[in-house]
Amino acid sequence: MVDSGENARRFTAQDLSFLGDRLAARFGARFSTGQALRDQHASVLTWLPPQAPDGVVFPESEAEVAEIVRLCSEHGVPVIAYGTGTSLEGHVNAPEGGISVDMGRMNAVVAVHAEDLDVVVQPGVTRKQLNDYLRDQGLFFPIDPGADASIGGMAATRASGTNAVRYGTMKDNVVSVRAVLANGEVVSTASRAKKSSAGYDLTRLLVGSEGTLGIITEVTLRLHGIPEAISAGVCPFATEKAACDAVIATIQSGLAVARIELLDALMVRAANAYSGLDLPESPMLFLEFHGSEAGVAEQAERFGEIAAEYGGGPFSWATRPEERTRLWTARHNAYWAAGALRPGMRSLATDVCVPLSRLAECVAETRRDIDETGLVAPIVGHVGDGNFHVQPIIDVDNADEVEACKGFLERLVQRALAMEGTCTGEHGVGQGKRKYLKAEHGEAALAAMKAIKTALDPKGILNPGKILPD
């Protein structure tokens, strides 16, 4: 088995060799140490350096995941769960080496309980696959991070997306999970009941744990009926602050908007070029309303009135499915569109989230910071819940540009924390934001997290180097 010496290791070459032999004997061609495959299972979507695992294994059942974890535990070798590799904070990197457990073959929809509005899936099912499966039953799963992420990865990172303002995030839509713990035991966190007061909430403990407390092998999700009517639209504004003020007023008025997304002028320019749109290059809100035909029309009219109060408009909207799809496809392709603004450069997508009342202030200060720093960094965000993203695109060979970007990112997080926000609204901590946990949560909370980690993973083999600072 390959031992490249690239990573800081807590196990010996002999441990690695014995483990590799056992995995090869048990899984055959479903276990590989090939360099190309290992490299594919390291983080490549940010400027964090990719750190490849020592091997990759493809389980096909929960029992096989448990077996893999037990073998790794015996040899003290780290285990890193892998979904589709779309996370942005180095979650799938292997800083200490180890085995990447690719859940892609565990991609079955186990059961749909239409009458209970829930579904049981294996972790490798992707959000698009799930909604394609559900469509004929008049149901859908609303959480939609831009990438076609796996459900297991979405649960592990507590993912969110454009629909969160109405439907919540993964923490609100996961009923229960099954997961393999560090000792190879399987735990089921809850029943399918809609509520329970029985014991600790292990579901919420594992949702967002980023594979550091267990490897998710099955997820039960809440579903929703496909709305009778859906309309989407766009509304330009003179400034990001005006757009955010309109968002705040919209939410505070109780308007049941399903999606409300901000794109700054630079992001609109990128979306026009990348996705073939022809929107005016000014700060823009993308919106979507769900409900009855009359309800959707009323919501759209009321939003137009609110937007006008903040100098926005004209608000144009459409109900044809192909028009909505074109609009939201462009929004979901924002990461790639932004990267195309500087071909050959590196993108660093980051996010923060603040209380809604501080959103306009935080975005305006961030815009000033970007302009003063001289970065190319479009802003886009799920602003209906105070969450926005900034994507600096930099020349990593230019030391001055790299340092300017690092300073900006530090100020962005400190700004959000000072406004009683969080260092990450949906991307997760991973490797990239570990250093902010103490400032956000305090020593006592961090000590409690570490105690939980030690209790559930005493050998520290589950996705080490993530979430908790050293």
Domain's final residue, options 87, 102, 117: 102
Q: 263 and 321 share a domain?
A: yes
**What would the mean pLDDT of 2-7 be, rounded to a whole number?**
44
pLDDT at 217 over 60: yes
**What would the mean pLDDT of 390-405 be, rounded to a whole number?**
95
- Contacts of residue 269, defined as CB under 8 A and 6 or more positions apart, other chains included, come to 281, 341
pLDDT score recorded for residue 4: 41
Q: Could you give the residue ranges of the DSSP H alpha helices within 60-174?
A: 62-75, 127-134, 151-156, 164-167, 170-173
Parallel/antiparallel/unpaired status of strands 55-57 and 99-102: parallel
What is the average pLDDT score of the chain?
A: 94
pLDDT in tens, 145-154: 878 999 999 9
The reply to whether 427 falls in a domain is: no
pLDDT score recorded for residue 375: 96
Q: 131 and 206 share a domain?
A: yes
pLDDT score recorded for residue 5: 41
Q: 98 and 46 share a domain?
A: yes
Q: 186 and 264 share a domain?
A: no
**What would the mean pLDDT of 410-418 be, rounded to a whole number?**
98
State the total domains in the chain: 3
Q: Tell me the pTM.
A: 0.93
The reply to whether 356 falls in a domain is: no
Q: How far apart are CA 103 and CA 230, in angstroms?
A: 34
Express as a percent the part of the chain with pLDDT over 70. Answer: 98
pLDDT score recorded for residue 9: 77
Q: 68 and 132 share a domain?
A: no
Q: Would you say 90 and 80 are in contact if contact means Cβ atoms under 8 Å apart?
A: no
Q: Would you say 433 and 193 are in contact if contact means Cβ atoms under 8 Å apart?
A: no
pLDDT score recorded for residue 2: 41
What is the domain extent for residue 123?
Answer: 109-225
pLDDT score recorded for residue 7: 55
Q: How far apart are CA 40 and CA 27, in angstroms?
A: 20
pLDDT score recorded for residue 1: 44
CATH code (residue 82): 3.30.43.10
pLDDT score recorded for residue 30: 98
How far is residue 133 CA from its own chain's centroid?
22
- Contacts of residue 414, defined as CB under 8 A and 6 or more positions apart, other chains included, come to 439
pLDDT in tens, 25-59: 999 999 999 999 999 999 777 778 899 999 999 99
Domain's final residue, options 336, 355, 381: 336
Q: How far apart are CA 351 and CA 33, in angstroms?
A: 34
The reply to whether 199 falls in a domain is: yes
AA identity, residue 356: L
**What would the mean pLDDT of 76-102 be, rounded to a whole number?**
95
Residue with tokens 């695992």: 53
